[in-house]
Amino acid sequence: MAIEFRVDDLSGAATQALVARHLEGMYANSPACSVHALDLGKLRQPGVTFWSAWDRGEIAAIGALKRIDAARGEIKSMRVADAWLGKGVGRAMLDHIVAEARRAGMTCLWLETGGTAAFQPALKLYESAGFTRCGPFEDYVEDPFSVFMTREI
């Protein structure tokens, strides 16, 4: 596997399909009021950098970094394509986002993910990468379907 990371403008059909798959999964596993995933329009807003990961011409994963301020960022829209699940692509995307956040001068990252059983693989990934659970940040509020995490980088 030779993963290539690209800053993505979200115009390609494969990228749009994986974003749609991500959103479907969020709504299938959380009540609508607890889904904080960004749609295509919000992923294109200023302050958000979106990457896609490719393996031999096929999309393997997506992920985004939303700048909160000069020192802090939020990881958004992490999703691995079904065919690449369990192959280390999620870890590679997470490592890429962390490295890009450091390169941008950030010193702390935050994220929100789901709290149901469907999100256990994501929680294990984030915990294994040094993220720890915390309370809500920015505009988030306590929610039994959300888990908030942070990590200094």
DSSP secondary-structure letter at 138?
T
Give me the residue spans of the domains in the chain. Answer: 3-152
49-83 confidence digits (pLDDT tens): 999 999 999 999 999 999 999 999 999 999 999 99
Listed residue (73, 61, 67, 70) closest to 21, CA to CA? 61
pLDDT the model gives residue 99 = 98
* 3-152 CATH fold: Aminopeptidase (3.40.630)
106-143 confidence digits (pLDDT tens): 999 999 999 999 999 999 999 999 999 999 999 999 99
DSSP secondary-structure letter at 105?
T
Q: What is the mean pLDDT of residues 91-100?
A: 98
Q: At 1, is the pLDDT very low, low, confident or very high (cuts 50, 70, 90)?
A: confident
Mean pLDDT of the chain: 97
What are the tokens at 12? 């390609």
pTM of the predicted model as reported, rounded to 2 decimal places: 0.96
